[in-house]
C-alpha cells in the first residue's frame, strides 16, 4: 500500500491563536503517519505526489481532529442527568454511586464500550480520560480505546480520604494497585498510555500524593487532576493544607504540577485570583483543560480563559462529561465563547471575549500540544483529521469561516464522514 495520500476538500487549521488558515478546494498531502503540506492548487504539489490519486471530499470540511483534555469515562452513563442539582448533591446522587459499579468488570466492559463508541463517532481524536479507582476496569477501558484507534492518556483514579465508604482505597492499596496498573499497561499499547490521576487534593492523603509524585518522576509519567474548580473546594484545600499559599502548591509540593512531567489541570476557574498559582501554571508549563459547560452546569463559575491565553498558558478544552452533558468539543468551543462574554460582563469588563480562531486553536493545536506534534496541518505533524459533511446546515454564500462557525454552534452530530488518527482511518 502506498503511504502517500492526497485529500481534497475545504481545509481549515490553526497556525497560531490569531491565524486560522482557510483553503477552499485545497489539497492535504500526507505521508503515512504525518502531514506533508497543504496546497491550494494541484500545481503547487511536490513532484513525488504527482502520481498519487486524489481522494475527493469536495464541499466537505477537513479539519484537524479535536482534543478533549478532560473527560470522565465512567460518568458517560449518567450524562445529562441531575443537571438541575448543584455539585455536591449531584456527586452523591449520581457520580459516586455510578463509579462504584466499575468494580464489576462486566459492567465496565458494557458501559465503556458505549463511551468509546460514541467518542469514536465524535470529532475528537485524542483525549485525557479519567477512569475510576478500579485497576481492572481501567485496563478494560484502555483495551477498548486501543482497539478503537483513538489516542488517549487514561488514568486509574486515586482516592484514599474524604470519599464515600464504597469508593475509597487504603493508602497502601492505592499505591500498589497504581504500580501494578502501570506495569501492566505502560508498554502494552500503541495508542494508550497510563497517566497518574489523583482525583483531587481533598480525596488524596499527603502520603499518597508524595508516592504518586515519586512514581511520576521515576517512571516519567504525566499527571491529570482538578484545580480551583469552585470556591468551597478551594477553601477546603486551604484547610487541609494550611502550609500552601494556593491550591496549586498542594500538588506542587508533591511534584505533581508540571515541570518535567506533563500535567493537565482541569477547570482553574479561580486560578487568576492567586498570582502564585498563575506563576506556577505558567512557569511549570501545566496544561489547563477549560470545561465551560461543566463550569456552568455545576455552578462552578466563569474561568478567565482569555487571560490564560494572553499569559501564554496552554489552555485546551474539555467536555468534562458528566459535569458536561456532551462529548462534543465543538459544543465546548461555543460554550467557551459564551463563558468569556459572561466573564467580561460579570467579572472583568476590561477583558476581551474569545474569538472563533482562538477557540478552534485551543481545541486543536494548543490542546494537541499535550500529545506532541498534534493538532494542525503543518509539515511533520501527526495526520489526525476529521472530514465533516456540513451540507445540512451549509447554505449558499457562506465562507469557510462561517461554515466552521455554524458547525461549532450546532456540533458534529451526524456530520463525521471520515476520521484519521496518526495516519490510520478509524
Q: Smallest gap, in angstroms, from Cβ of residue 337 to its own copies?
A: 5
Q: Smallest gap, in angstroms, from Cβ of residue 84 to its own copies?
A: 5
Strands 263-267 and 223-227: parallel
Angstrom distance (rounded) from CA 334 to CA 293? 9
Residue 390 makes CB contacts below 8 A (sequence gap 6+) with 60, 61, 403, 406, 407, 415
x-marked contacts with its own copies along 57-96 as a string, rule CB under 8 A? --------------------x-xxxxxx-x----------
Residue 82 makes CB contacts below 8 A (sequence gap 6+) with 89, 90, 93, 94
x-marked contacts with its own copies along 302-341 as a string, rule CB under 8 A? x----------------------xx-------x--xx--x
> From the list 15, 210, 217, 344, which residue makes contact with its own copies (rule: CB under 8 A)?
344
Q: Smallest gap, in angstroms, from Cβ of residue 234 to its own copies?
A: 14
Per CB under 8 A, the segment of 131-139, 152-160, 206-214, 292-300 that binds its own copies is 292-300
> From the list 207, 406, 423, 426, which residue makes contact with its own copies (rule: CB under 8 A)?
406
> From the list 155, 255, 258, 301, which residue makes contact with its own copies (rule: CB under 8 A)?
301
Residues 381-400 that bind its own copies (CB under 8 A): 393, 395, 398
Residue 96 makes CB contacts below 8 A (sequence gap 6+) with 163, 164, 166, 167
> From the list 173, 275, 402, 425, which residue makes contact with its own copies (rule: CB under 8 A)?
402
H/E stretch holding 97: helix 96-100
Which CB atom, from 118 or from 207, has the smaller least distance to its own copies? 118
Strands 157-158 and 263-267: unpaired
Q: Which residues pair with 11 in a beta bridge?
A: 23, 62
User: What is the edge-to-edge ordering of all strands in the sheet holding 424-425?
Assistant: 34-39, 20-31, 4-14, 54-64, 385-388, 416-421, 424-425
> From the list 44, 275, 346, 372, which residue makes contact with its own copies (rule: CB under 8 A)?
346
H/E stretch holding 64: strand 54-64
Assess 107 for contact with its own copies (CB under 8 A): no
Assess 363 for contact with its own copies (CB under 8 A): no
Q: Smallest gap, in angstroms, from Cβ of residue 87 to its own copies?
A: 10
> From the list 299, 372, 379, 391, which residue makes contact with its own copies (rule: CB under 8 A)?
299
Phi, psi of 218 (to 5 degrees): -65, -40
Strands 287-290 and 263-267: parallel
x-marked contacts with its own copies along 149-188 as a string, rule CB under 8 A? ----------------------------------------
Q: Smallest gap, in angstroms, from Cβ of residue 326 to its own copies?
A: 7
Strands 54-64 and 385-388: antiparallel
> From the list 175, 296, 317, 386, which residue makes contact with its own copies (rule: CB under 8 A)?
296
Burial of 53 (0-12, 13-18, 19+ CB in 10 A): exposed
Angstrom distance (rounded) from CA 322 to CA 344? 26
**How many helices (H) and strands (E) in the chain?**
15, 17
Residues in contact with its own copies by CB under 8 A are 77, 79-84, 86, 296-297, 299, 301-302, 325-326, 334, 337-338, 341-342, 344-347, 353-356, 359, 393, 395, 398, 402, 405-406, 408-410, 413-414
Amino acid at each position: 500500500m502506498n503511504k502517500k495520500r492526497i485529500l481534497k476538500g475545504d481545509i481549515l487549521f490553526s497556525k497560531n491563536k490569531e491565524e486560522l488558515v482557510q483553503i477552499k478546494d485545497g489539497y492535504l498531502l500526507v505521508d503515512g503517519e504525518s502531514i506533508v503540506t497543504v496546497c491550494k492548487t494541484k500545481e503547487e504539489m511536490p513532484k513525488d505526489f504527482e502520481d498519487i490519486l486524489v481522494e475527493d471530499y469536495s464541499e466537505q470540511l477537513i479539519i484537524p481532529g479535536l482534543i478533549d483534555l478532560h473527560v470522565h469515562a465512567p460518568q458517560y452513563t449518567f450524562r445529562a442527568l441531575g443537571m438541575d442539582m448543584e455539585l455536591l448533591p449531584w456527586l452523591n446522587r449520581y457520580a459516586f454511586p455510578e463509579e462504584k459499579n466499575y468494580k464489576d468488570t462486566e459492567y465496565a466492559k458494557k458501559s465503556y464500550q458505549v463511551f468509546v463508541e460514541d467518542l469514536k463517532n465524535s470529532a475528537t481524536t485524542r483525549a485525557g480520560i479519567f477512569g475510576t479507582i478500579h485497576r481492572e476496569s481501567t485496563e478494560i477501558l484502555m483495551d477498548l480505546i486501543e482497539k478503537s484507534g483513538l489516542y488517549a492518556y487514561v488514568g486509574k483514579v486515586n482516592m484514599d480520604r474524604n470519599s464515600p465508604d464504597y469508593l475509597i482505597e487504603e493508602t497502601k492499596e492505592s499505591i500498589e494497585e497504581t504500580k501494578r496498573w502501570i506495569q501492566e499497561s505502560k508498554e502494552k499499547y500503541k495508542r494508550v498510555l497510563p497517566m497518574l490521576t489523583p482525583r483531587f487534593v481533598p480525596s488524596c492523603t499527603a502520603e499518597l500524593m508524595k508516592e504518586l509524585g515519586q512514581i511520576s518522576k521515576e517512571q516519567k509519567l504525566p499527571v491529570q487532576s482538578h484545580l480551583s474548580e469552585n470556591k468551597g473546594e478551594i477553601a477546603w484545600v486551604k484547610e487541609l493544607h494550611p502550609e500552601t499559599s494556593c491550591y496549586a502548591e498542594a500538588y506542587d509540593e508533591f511534584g505533581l504540577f508540571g515541570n518535567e512531567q506533563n500535567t493537565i489541570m482541569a477547570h482553574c476557574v479561580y486560578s487568576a485570583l492567586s498570582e502564585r498559582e498563575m506563576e506556577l501554571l505558567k512557569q511549570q508549563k501545566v496544561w489547563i483543560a477549560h470545561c465551560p459547560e461543566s463550569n456552568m452546569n455545576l455552578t462552578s463559575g466563569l474561568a478567565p480563559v482569555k487571560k490564560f491565553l494572553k499569559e501564554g498558558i496552554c489552555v485546551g478544552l474539555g467536555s468534562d462529561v458528566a459535569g458536561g452533558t456532551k462529548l462534543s468539543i465543538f459544543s465546548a468551543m461555543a460554550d467557551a465563547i459564551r463563558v468569556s462574554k459572561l466573564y467580561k460582563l460579570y467579572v472583568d469588563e476590561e477583558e476581551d471575549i474569545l474569538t472563533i480562531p482562538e477557540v478552534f486553536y485551543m481545541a486543536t493545536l494548543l490542546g494537541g500540544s499535550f500529545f506532541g506534534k498534534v493538532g494542525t496541518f503543518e509539515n511533520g505533524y501527526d495526520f489526525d483529521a476529521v472530514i465533516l459533511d456540513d451540507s445540512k446546515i451549509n447554505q449558499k454564500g457562506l465562507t469557510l469561516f462561517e461554515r466552521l462557525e455554524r458547525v461549532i454552534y450546532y456540533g458534529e452530530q451526524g456530520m463525521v464522514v471520515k476520521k484519521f488518527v496518526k495516519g490510520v482511518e478509524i
